[in-house]
Structures are given as structure tokens and as C-alpha cells.
Structure 1
């Protein structure tokens, strides 16, 4: 019985291949190759075989999904390579950790993203535990008007030397943000809110956000958080152990 199935598969491969080939031929050539009764017979053989062995359909779907996953990973690596300077070395991006670190991690985040806030403690511990790690923060406000206000305020806080304090306060805030909450948090970390409001709409601040949005589009990042570890794009929230593993892998690649 075991030897019959491969034999039958081999025999069936001939008409299946012929059917696939006929679909690619012009109509006149198809009619010359198979008449309607022959086509019906071939289709019945294929249908009967798939009914007897439905696992082949699942195997085909799995293979297709794996090919798609491989293609997407390759496309992501290509996009990362082509946009490496904008991703890692934009002077407009805030940097945490060691500015001269040997491994750079990039995070695209939104201040209203619950998953971003859930991984905040782990990203902070990752930075604290690894003195050679460079961590780039990409403001990526995609969850509504309040997200945009928060990102503009955070970037504007750099002019007063308070970005990280304000960033951490925004990340620690639970519940919805609005301008009142954002300004209250700004004041709590020592920011001059009158100056902050003026700086928020500066061309430089708006340019950073627009650049991050364009870069995310190129990298096919449409949600937050989105991480880049070396040459690997990692969408979604991940745990500290996985972060450390990805940093180690990036460091091993040099």
C-alpha cells in the first residue's frame, strides 16, 4: 500500500501537469491538445485524488504560506538595507543608551499604544543591562489626534533638554491622552509649557514625524510597536528574553 501511493502520485502528475500547461496555452492550442471529454476526465482524476488525500491541499497551503513568509522577510531585509541611514543615523531621532553602542535597536511607537506601554519596562531594562546598546526612538503617532499632539510635544521637549523625562512620563500615563493631560505631564517634568506649545509646531518637529511615517511605509510597518534589531524587522510586542536574544544575534553578525 505504501508503494502504491507514490506510484499513483507520479501517474497523476502527468495529467495534472498537462492540465496546468493547457491553461497557459492559447484557446486554439488548448482545443487541439484536449477535447472536452479528455479535460473532464483529467479534472475528475484530480478531484477524486484530492478528495481521497485532502492533506495535500493543506500541504500546498503551508508551502505557499512559507514561500510568502520567506519573500516578505527578504523584502524586509532589502528595505532595511536601502533605508539604513535614515533608520539608524538620523540626527533628528532621540537616542537612549550608549550613543556609540555596537548594536542599535530601533523602536517605532505611539504614546497611546497599550502594547508600547506594556514593553516599556522591558526596553528600559534592556538598555540598563547592556552598556553597549544604542536605542533609537522613532515617534510614530498613528492612533489619533492625541497621539500626534503627544509626539509633537515630546519632540519639542528636546529644545529644553527634557525629552527622555517627558517620554517616560507619557509612557507611564494610563488612560487616554488629550492636550490637557499632555501639558500636565510636561509641567510635572519641569517643562515650560508656553514655550513647548510654540515649539511643537516648528517645521523641524513636523519634519521628523513626516520622515518617520514615510520610513515606516517603506519598511511596511503599519502598527506599533515595531522593532528593528540589526537587520531584522520585528513587528509587535515581545518579551525581554526575546529582545536580548535578538540583540545577541545582531551583535554576533557584527
Structure 2
């Protein structure tokens, strides 16, 4: 619509008051493009700006509506300081190499800033192995070993699949038979379903993705960027 309006403004005044054939319109558009090629770039830039504004407005609305679920969901694992004044929400997949690269960055931040809460949203979108790993990690909470299981899965080399997940579960001291039963629990199903819903609502399309205060940070992030986001979140509280 923006491009069409731009072309309309560029047409001769007389032509706007007369019925114009489709062929004539096409010829006028082509002529306008030849004489004013910058109009296309301007129209695209205006469209992109409007889309960015719309996306920002949607994200702000979702953050307002879902803030409690994002930051205070009792069915989401928490690392760092449970009583911290700033919450980082991370959506991740155990088969995501960028999630594994981001883990040391997040850990370094929490080591330096002991007033940060990390809410983990298991978002298994890459493979069946990812889904199996997410279920196993969430089920490990019933045996008090989520942090150990999460760390082991995030630091393992190679593709994360069912066999490797169960091997790691045994290495961290989990009762495998109990784990398999707990993997089918309603709490596990609910957590993953909520992660899917939140990620879609926020417009995330890949892992890792972070929420820090009012900021959405898609993709791999280094510690300095996290520090900036945490500082900005504190400034508005």
C-alpha cells in the first residue's frame, strides 16, 4: 500500500481524474521507477519501520500480559539467586550449539552478579532427541537434580538423543526407572506447552532467546550484552 501510494503521488495530475487502463498503469509505474528508483527504497524502508513498530508494540503487550508467567512460573526451573532483583528468562534447546555457547556467558554473569535470577524455559524445537532431553531434565526435578542434569546435557558433545540422555542421567545419579515415569507427568507436559506458547507470542523463531526486563534478545548473546540488559532492567525498577 505504501508503494502504491508513492506511485500515485508521482503520476500526472490529469491521469488521476481519468479512467486508466491496466497497461497504462503498468507503463506509468515502470516509467516512475526508471526516473525515481529511490522511491522503491523509501517505500521499503517505510514498510520495515512500520513492521518494526508493530512488532515492538506486540512484544510490549505480550510482556505486560505474560510477565508473571515468564518470571514467576512455579513450574519453571530457576538457577542463580531465587530472590534476585532482575530476572533473565532463557528459551533453549539441548541440541542448539548457540545455546551451549551462551551457557558460559550466562554463568559468568551470574558469578559476577549474585542478584540475578535465571528462569529456564525448556523449548525443544530441533529434534525428537531435544524433546526427550527436555522431558528428562524437567523430570529430574523430582529427584532434586535438575541443575546437575541441565549442566551435563548442555556440556555434552555430539547430538543429544535418548540413549545419551539416559546415560547422562545415570552418571548424575538419577533413578532411571523413576525418571522415565516422571517424564510423562502433567507438569512436564505443561512446562513445554507453556514454553511453546510464550515463544510464539513473543515472536521468537529460534534458540537461544532471552527476555530481560522489557528487552527481547533473540540469538546468541555474550556477557557484556547481558550486563547491559540487566543494568537497564534495574534502572526501571
**TM-score normalised according to structure 2 size:** 0.88
1:220 matched to 2:234: no
Q: Partners in 1 of 2:128 and 2:26 — Cα distance?
A: 56
Distance 1:36 1:71, change over 3 A: closer
SS of residue paired to 1:138: strand
1:34 matched to 2:9: no
Q: What's the counterpart of residue 189 of structure 2?
A: 206
Q: Which has the larger radius of gyration?
A: 1
Q: Partners in 1 of 2:161 and 2:221 — Cα distance?
A: 27
Q: Partners in 2 of 1:185 and 1:17 — Cα distance?
A: 74
User: How many equivalent pairs are there?
Assistant: 229
- Unaligned stretches of 5+ residues in structure 1: 1-11, 23-32
Q: Partners in 2 of 1:142 and 1:240 — Cα distance?
A: 25
Distance 1:83 1:16, change over 3 A: farther
Q: What's the counterpart of residue 153 of structure 1?
A: 136
1:14 shift after superposition: 7.1
- Unaligned stretches of 5+ residues in structure 2: 1-7
Q: What's the counterpart of residue 36 of structure 2?
A: 53
Distance 1:183 1:36, change over 3 A: closer
Of the three residues 87, 97, 103, the one matched with 2:80 is: 97
Of the three residues 222, 228, 232, the one matched with 1:239 is: 222
1:130 matched to 2:113: yes
1:45 shift after superposition: 6.0
After TM superposition, the structure 1 stretch with the greater mean CA deviation from structure 2, 208-217 or 135-144, is: 208-217
Of the three residues 94, 98, 103, the one matched with 1:115 is: 98
Q: Partners in 2 of 1:43 and 1:152 — Cα distance?
A: 57
Q: Partners in 2 of 1:36 and 1:167 — Cα distance?
A: 66
Contact 2:10 2:32 in 1 (8 A): no
Distance 1:43 1:220, change over 3 A: closer
